Chain A
Amino acid sequence: MEYKDYYAIMGVKRDATQDEIKRAYRKQARKYHPDVSKEKDAEKHFKEVGEAYEVLKDPEKRVAYDQLGANWKAGQDFQPPPDWEQGFVFHGGDFTSADAKQFSDFFETLYGRGGFTQGYSGQTFKGFQARGEDTHAKVMIDLEDAYLGATRTLTLKHTELGADGRPQLTERTLNVRIPKGVRQGQHVRLAKQGGAGIGKGAPGDLYLEIMFRPHKLYHVEGRDVYLDLPVAPWEAALGATVKIPTPEGTVDLKIPSGSSSGRKLRLKGRGIPGKRPGNYYVVIQIALPPADSETAKAAYRELKKTLPFDPRARLGV
């Protein structure tokens, strides 16, 4: 088991006052709160900070922790001294049971699960019941799946209380239907598919956040889908009918004559389907034929000669 340096995690000195610890905790919690933070590993940091605060905010636990001495290094292999826990009494105090299951082995060894010792039998939760925790998972789908609907097989890891009252990691596999018309960032709620309840408590819910894999052709804004369409200068100038891809298959698109780069053509209702379907937008990008041969260069020179055109007319120079 690894030693955890709660002071370093919290970013305070070992002689910090309780007020300083509280301030440091608030600061760290704001920075790493999973609802707020986009930091990498925010959730992991947040849990660490929460665990450190659980110990340092409680004078009883803090004194006991300090008793281990200041010479331990974070990550160092740790065994509690044999007479550990003798002479300390940990009260529930202002302990919140919120995420106690997520605390580290190090924490558990020092303070027992839930942060307080109730005898040493491990029978802590007898007769106790609580609703299972809600679990969250992300599901990556392709844009095409949103048009057609899809099924996904997910493997989820749960922390559950085993028969001996200790938390264990269990895996379960689910087959989930991803509904047609779902959009990036939406959440599918599967009632009672979250963590198991404790005692007679009901299971929690499972929330699946939908993420679109980046697509090589399209980009998505809400329910609208965009395609950048390269066209030749003469197609843009004279108009043309071209074949374009859509997530539902190839269609013919009429490009109006005199289209400039950036012009948006709308295919109404061809975006992500739903009660209010999105639109499919084709954004014209005029592609320049390379002047990489004598013939091509001659053609450009011919164009220059026959077409009086000043692209900078509006700049007034």
Chain B
Amino acid sequence: MTNDLLSLLTGEVLEEEVEMTLAELCRACQVSAEKMFELVDEGVVEPMGRDPEIWLFHGANVRRVRCALRLQNDLGVNIAGAALALELLEELEVMRERLKRIDD
């Protein structure tokens, strides 16, 4: 890796403009399509569109998938449990924000 001071890197905001196909999401998350089907089945990620060939995923799913897989590996929960944890964590995040504002 070199120190690259000259070039300016532009990334993409995952939660904003990014839409990914099944293949792109699999690549970004380093998981197989079979695993992704399992994640879709359990509701960790929600595709837009009916058939897998035309599925599109919002970029925010990259983080959901990675988080679910980490929880599965590190805590031994199954995918359904990870999906539940993700939802609770999101709720918790909203409440923490609200609490912070009240405390300020």
A contact residues vs B (CB 8 Å cutoff): 26, 29-30, 33, 35-36, 38, 46, 50, 96, 98, 131, 134, 151, 158, 160, 170, 172-177, 179, 181-183, 185-191, 193, 196, 203, 205-208, 219, 221, 274-275
Are A189's CB and B8's CB within 8 A? no
Are A36's CB and B15's CB within 8 A? no
Residues of A within 8 A of B17 (CB): 275
A196-B1, A219-B104 known; A33-B75 Cβ under 8 A: yes
Contact of B73 among A46, A98, A158, A196 (CB under 8 A): A98
Nearest neighbor of A209 in chain B, beta-carbon distance? B63
- Interface members, chain B 56-104 (any A CB < 8 Å): 59, 62-63, 66-67, 70-71, 73-76, 85, 89, 93, 96-97, 101, 104
A26-B75, A131-B30 known; A189-B67 Cβ under 8 A: no
Between B6, B70, B74, the greatest number of chain A beta carbons within 10 A of the residue's beta carbon is seen for B74
Are A189's CB and B62's CB within 8 A? yes
Residues of A within 8 A of B5 (CB): 173, 175
- Give the distance to chain A from B6, nearest Cβ to Cβ, in Å: 8
Apart from A172-B2, A187-B63, A274-B16: 6 A-B pairs, beta carbons within 8 A: A33-B74, A176-B11, A177-B9, A187-B15, A189-B11, A189-B62
Are A175's CB and B8's CB within 8 A? yes
B contact residues vs A (CB 8 Å cutoff): 1-18, 28, 30, 59, 62-63, 66-67, 70-71, 73-76, 85, 89, 93, 96-97, 101, 104
Bound complex: CA A33 to CA B62 (Å): 19
Contact of B11 among A46, A188, A203, A275 (CB under 8 A): A188
Bound complex: CA A50 to CA B70 (Å): 13
Residues of B within 8 A of A151 (CB): 8
Contact of A26 among B8, B18, B67, B76 (CB under 8 A): B76
Residues of A within 8 A of B76 (CB): 26
- Give the distance to chain A from B9, nearest Cβ to Cβ, in Å: 5
Are B89's CB and A35's CB within 8 A? yes
Are A33's CB and B11's CB within 8 A? no
Between B5, B9, B75, B97, the greatest number of chain A beta carbons within 10 A of the residue's beta carbon is seen for B9
Q: Which 6 A/B pairs are nearest by Cβ-Cβ distance? A: A188-B11, A190-B11, A177-B10, A186-B15, A187-B14, A175-B8
Are A189's CB and B12's CB within 8 A? yes
Residues of A within 8 A of B71 (CB): 33, 35-36
Residues of B within 8 A of A33 (CB): 70-71, 74-75
Nearest neighbor of A176 in chain B, beta-carbon distance? B9
- Give the distance to chain B from A219, nearest Cβ to Cβ, in Å: 7
Bound complex: CA A187 to CA B59 (Å): 10
- Give the distance to chain B from A46, nearest Cβ to Cβ, in Å: 8
Bound complex: CA A131 to CA B29 (Å): 12
Nearest neighbor of B66 in chain A, beta-carbon distance? A134
Bound complex: CA A161 to CA B97 (Å): 40
A35-B89, A170-B1, A181-B16 known; A205-B63 Cβ under 8 A: no
Residues of A within 8 A of B97 (CB): 221
Residues of B within 8 A of A187 (CB): 13-15, 63
Bound complex: CA A174 to CA B50 (Å): 40
A179-B13, A186-B14, A188-B13 known; A174-B4 Cβ under 8 A: yes
Residues of A within 8 A of B75 (CB): 26, 29-30, 33
Bound complex: CA A131 to CA B104 (Å): 44
Bound complex: CA A284 to CA B93 (Å): 28
Bound complex: CA A173 to CA B97 (Å): 32
Are B8's CB and A29's CB within 8 A? no
